[in-house]
Amino acid sequence: MSAPIRGYWCECWTEDLTSAEGPTLLASFDTHSAPQADRWIAVALRTISPALDSDASDEAWAWLYEGRVETRQALLRSEPCTVMVTHASTRITWTVRPTLFLPVVHRGGAELPGCAYDFKRYAAD
């Protein structure tokens, strides 16, 4: 079996600040490098920035121009990072955490156990 692989686990959460409900996971992404992790956030911020109010847009561009370097340096030191933007009553939070990915053993040409063929695919009408 191979050794664990170092990487980063990235998540994007949204939260309605006027609601009692907690944050909702919007997206997640796994990557094997710090540049990929901060690029994921940068692409998302650039994509949504035209739709953000002026304060949120300023927060987004401040991170893109100044905070991104600090984020990348922290990730390279294996420190978790958070980037947050608040638009109206919605908070959008990106988190990146260093992690170890465990390799999955490939079953290759091995046969599945007999019970695996007992289950039929269910087709909804």
Helix H or strand E segment including 98: strand 90-101
Q: Could you report the per-residue pLDDT of 68-109, keeping only the tens digit for each?
A: 999 999 999 999 999 999 999 999 999 999 999 887 766 566
Q: Which residues of 95-110 are buried (b: 16+ CB within 10 A; e: fewer)?
A: bbbbbeeeeeeeeeee
Is pTM beyond 0.75? Reply is yes
Q: How confident is the model at residue 125 (pLDDT cuts 50, 70, 90)?
A: very low
Backbone torsions φ then ψ of 6, nearest 5 degrees: -70, 140
